Chains A and B, each alone.
Chain A
Amino acid sequence: QSVLTQPPSVSGAPGQRVTISCTGSSSNIGAGYDVHWYQQLPGTAPKLLIYGNSNRPSGVPDRFSGSKSGTSASLAITGLQAEDEADYYCQSYDSSLSRVFGGGTKLTVL
């Protein structure tokens, strides 16, 4: 049981927009801690996709965007491409500064 809740799966056709939610509580996201997002392509290590709720590291396409409100955060992917098929994880912190992850969401590009 993960501290942060994500939908197990989402899907979309090429070119479409999908969103992945990440729901926490008043002891993590709702306490004001930032949310980060990671992309894990099949058989590879995770990669930082969004940091500080809405910032993209260098090299991440602007098709990826993040937002945060209250006790939740969201990752949006526009102009869906086949290469976006991967697992996506949100991550934040709790009051003891432990790092907490969401359970992960598998994105399928139809």
Chain B
Amino acid sequence: QVQLVESGGGLVKPGGSLRLSCAASGFTFSDYYMSWIRQAPGKGLEWVSYISSSGSTIYYADSVKGRFTISRDNAKNSLYLQMNSLRAEDTAVYYCARDTGLQYGMDVWGQGTTVTVSS
């Protein structure tokens, strides 16, 4: 079945780094755009980053621009989020989602991985 599984979350000190992964299965990963979305404790959803199917087009939210890097390895059916210079306000559950574009939304979501930034 179509599935996304995130991993790599954990506790990190302010200023530290973390790399999240998202493993895709059940569909042709290389055909789809992907996005990362996060949700701070008790808060709403915040889109973080988008990558096109080939990786040639990338967008970031202003809140993470210059600190986070999205990438993908289509041969490994995997999506990544490299997070540097982490701040307390980056504490959230991070979801990866299959992003089917402007007309179709994000139709498949992972279960999320928790990132906690604290000293």
Contact = CB atoms under 8 A, between A and B. Distances in A.
A102 B47 CA distance: 10
Contacts of A17: none
B61 A38 contact: no
A34 B45 contact: no
A9 B104 CA distance: 26
Contacts of B95: 45-46
A85 B23 CA distance: 30
Nearest to B100: A51
Given A45-B95, A47-B109, A96-B59, A38 B103 contact: no
Interface residues of A, number: 26
- Greatest chain B CB density within 10 A among A45, A87, A89, A91 is at A45
A98 B100 CA distance: 14
Q: Which 3 interchain pairs have the tightest Cβ spacing?
A: A36-B105, A99-B47, A104-B44
Contacts of A104: 44-45
A88 B50 CA distance: 22
Interface of A: 2, 33-34, 36, 38, 40, 45-48, 51-52, 57, 87, 89, 91, 93, 96-104
Given A45-B95, A98-B59, A91 B105 contact: yes
A48 B107 contact: yes
B44 A2 contact: yes
Contact of B45 (A47, A48, A89): A89
B44 A51 contact: no
A98 B35 CA distance: 10
B110 A45 contact: yes
